[in-house]
Amino acid sequence: MSKRPKLIATDLDGTIVRHDGTISARTIAAFSKAHAMGLQIYFVTGRPPRWMDEIRDAFGFGEAICGNGAMLYDLKTSTVTEEWMISKEIQIEVAQRMRAVVPPISFAIESHDYYHREKSYVPRWDIGLDNVGVEKIEDAVRGPAFKMLARCSGGEFTSDEMLEIGIRELDGLVTVTHSNANESLLEISALGISKGQTLAKVAGRLEIDAIDCIAFGDNPNDFSMLQWCGRSFAMADGHPDGHKFSSGIALPHNEDGVAIVIEELLDLPA
């Protein structure tokens, strides 16, 4: 395809955000030029809203899809504008089904205004938000959540192994994915909710077809988005299955792979 896209959708961590938390000047410049040329920019992430301030401060424009598609988030006003949640009953059933087949598993749940975990769940990022924990996550479930996190804190299973089990055991109940092959961690959303599904929804509202959208991502939680867009790039240093869902491969995130592709796209005719 030799036309400039109308919408750019990008994952954050491991795609445009480096592992040290920085975003390169070249990346910011490429997105800024695209924005100035009238392209729609969507930051599509597994992150909760509480982790989005640095993205707002770095770019100052764009829209956000958080929680692997579970919510639309207005970066400018720091407000959730729409969300698709996992019910209390489904959260409990997920925990019970997964404990039966993965005994060392533990859980955390989160929404835009709370985070709770089991005592056996060792957090990597939200340290300090819940220093007490509960014996079983059922004791913390009070209502809908946008994400459940399931971890083998001792590393007994890889994320890919857990994903295979989760897809089998939770089929028809929730959507299961992961964003880091090295973390022994699953991310669980409401049934049918994914980055790709929510991106398709917002693009449709903008009357932009998939063929006019381009996406970038590095892990299984990005695959639905990569597959839906007319053009997509998996990161060369991302999950080894990325190429199965994308139309191209971008250079590693720490080599400004996304910026390089965008720079080339902006030279194409509209």
Check which CATH number belongs to the domain holding 73 and give it: 3.40.50.1000
Q: End-to-end alpha-carbon separation of the chain, Å?
A: 11
C-alpha span between 112 and 146 (Å, rounded): 8
How far is residue 130's CA from residue 119's CA, in Å, rounded to a whole number?
A: 9
Report whether 96 contacts 34 (CB < 8 A): no
Q: Which of 142, 173, 190 is the last residue of a domain?
A: 190
Which range is least confidently modeled, 108-112, 250-254, 263-267?
Answer: 108-112
The pLDDT assigned to 130 comes to 80
Q: What is the pLDDT of residues 86-133, one digit of tens each?
A: 999 999 999 999 999 999 999 999 987 789 999 999 988 776 678 789
In a domain, 109, yes or no: yes
Last residue of a domain, one of 190, 221, 252: 190
What the block records as the tokens of 199 is: 């991106």
* pLDDT number for residue 123: 87
Which pLDDT score is estimated for 47?
94
Range of the domain at 75: 7-83+194-265
Same domain, 76 and 92: no
pLDDT the model gives residue 182: 84
d(CA 237, CA 147): 26
Q: Are residues 32 and 99 in the same domain?
A: no
CATH number of the domain to which 179 belongs: 3.30.1240.10
Q: Is residue 183 part of a domain?
A: yes
The whole-angstrom separation of Cα 79 and Cα 131 is 26
270 within a domain of the structure (yes/no): no
Which pLDDT score, from 0 to 100, does residue 124 have? Answer: 80
Q: pLDDT for 178-223, tens place per residue?
A: 999 888 999 999 999 999 999 999 999 999 999 999 999 999 999 9
Residue 30: per-residue pLDDT: 98
In a domain, 2, yes or no: no
61 with 106, same domain: the answer is no
Q: Does this model's pTM top 0.85? A: yes
CA distance 259 to 270: 19
In this structure, the answer to whether residues 157 and 95 fall within a common structural domain is: yes
